[in-house]
Amino acid sequence: MDQNRIAKPSPADVDGRPDAELVTGARAGEPSAFEAIMRRNNRLLFRTARGVVPDDAEAQDVVQETYLRAFARLDSFRGEAALSTWLARIAINVAVSAQHKQGRIVQMEDREGLATESSAKLI
């Protein structure tokens, strides 16, 4: 790497505070803490959501709902896992729930019932 070039920090790294400090700030209602949490996790949450939902618009909706749920329940974050892991789990739950509402996901119990009905018709 060229010693004369100084690497610019990415937008996610602008606020260098650790996650625990950002959570404390967000719990206190500090806008910069909320912003930093979102900047750090937007890409991860979008990719996580996009792995479950069929298009970008729905993934963006999942990310927004994830932040709403997470910030409303920030006091329940215990710090046993990384903040990004906690947020990703919320995103997965939101995305799966959205798919259930759209009728795009069939429960395994339902699939077994369908298989049994199909088999009975063949006999």
pLDDT score of 118 more than 70: no
CATH number at residue 103: 1.10.1740.10
Q: Do the domain assignments include residue 8?
A: no
Per-residue pLDDT band at 102 (split at 50, 70, 90): confident
Q: Is 3 a domain residue? A: no
Q: What is the DSSP string of the chain?
A: --TT--PPPPGGGSS---HHHHHHHHHTT-HHHHHHHHHHHHHHHHHHHHTTSSSHHHHHHHHHHHHHHHHHTGGG--SSS-HHHHHHHHHHHHHHHHHHHHT----HHHHHHHHHHHHHHH-
Model pLDDT, residue 73: 96
Flag whether 108 is in a domain. yes
Number of domains in the chain: 1
Residue 54: inside a domain: yes
Which pLDDT does position 103 carry in this prediction?
81
Mean pLDDT for all residues in the chain: 84
Share of the chain above pLDDT 90, in %: 67
Please report whether residue 6 resides in a domain. no
- The whole-number pLDDT of residue 6 equals 52
Asked if the structure places residue 72 within a domain, the reply is yes
Domain assignment of residue 9, yes or no: no
Domain span at 99:
14-122
In a domain? residue 92: yes
- pLDDT tens digit sequence for 1-59: 445 555 444 544 568 999 999 999 999 999 999 999 999 999 999 999 999 999 999 99
> The whole model's pTM is what?
0.74
